Amino acid sequence: MTDRILVAPSILSADFTRLGDEVEALSSYGADYVHLDVMDGNFVPNITFGAPMCRALRPRSDLVFDAHLMVAEPAKWVKDFADAGADIITIHAEADIHAHRTLQLIRACGKKAGIALNPATHHSAAEYLLDSADMVLVMSVNPGFGGQKFIPAVLKKIEAIRETAVRRGLDIDIEVDGGVNAETAKLCRDAGANVLVAGNAVFKAADRKEMVSIIRGN
């Protein structure tokens, strides 16, 4: 885990007609990651894009590609995303009865492994996965759509996961995803999160560079 707060704009809120240019511009805003929201219309009630989009966008940026798989049976797609150039591959605990095995598979592909928890999922769902994960993604909205309102109840979950990680001496990133803006970003940072996803807050901002810096907290 880095001490620095990292900002991961979600391209779900970008202009899809100019996605390559949108991704290319992210480094000029000071962003750290490109967050790719992959939805299958099964695990979540929406469909976005798959590994071919990751592959197509890959040459447009040197930033870390952060693939958030909101799909049923994510193990089926791990290799495709690894081959398509994702650097971090995150699966949902609720979507995989063999999440531990899938995290190992992600690492065996040479990628960082993330485990995501829906707002209704207790932090204990990640308890036995922390040794096999590089990141825990705490959903602060119900996955499926950008532009939703932040659920403050997840702040306690972020605190609990950070407390566990510190107690166990684990070097783990905590990413928060959904409804992160200038106000809620501070709450997440104070609770112990160090990677902040922001879709609408960044892409709808008048000054995207300034917004990335506000979310980072400087």
Judge contact between 80 and 67, C-beta under 8 A. Answer: no
Is residue 9 near ligand DX5 by the rule CB under 6 A?
no
The least CB distance from residue 166 to ligand DX5, in Å, is 26
Q: Residues 156 to 215: which contact ligand DX5 by CB under 6 A?
A: 177-180, 197-201
Placement of tokens 């207790």 in the chain: 122
**DSSP state for residue 85 in the 8-state scheme:** T
**DSSP state for residue 34 in the 8-state scheme:** E
Residues with active-site annotation: 37, 177
Q: State the Cα–Cα distance between residues 202 and 11, nearest whole angstrom.
A: 10
Is residue 175 near Zn ion by the rule CB under 5 A?
no
The least CB distance from residue 10 to Zn ion, in Å, is 5
Is residue 12 near ligand DX5 by the rule CB under 6 A?
yes
Binding partner of residue 179 among ligand DX5, Zn ion, none, CB under 5 to 8 Å per kind?
ligand DX5
The least CB distance from residue 48 to ligand DX5, in Å, is 9
Judge contact between 99 and 115, C-beta under 8 A. Answer: yes
Nearest to residue 35, comparing CAs of 194, 177, 133? 177
Is residue 68 near ligand DX5 by the rule CB under 6 A?
yes
Coil/strand/helix, residue 204: coil
Is residue 40 near Zn ion by the rule CB under 5 A?
no
Q: State the Cα–Cα distance between residues 144 and 165, nearest whole angstrom.
A: 28
Q: Name the site residues for Zn ion (rule: CB under 5 A).
A: 37, 68, 177
Q: Which residues are at the interface with ligand DX5 (CB under 6 A)?
A: 10, 12-13, 35, 37, 68, 70, 141, 143-148, 177-180, 197-201
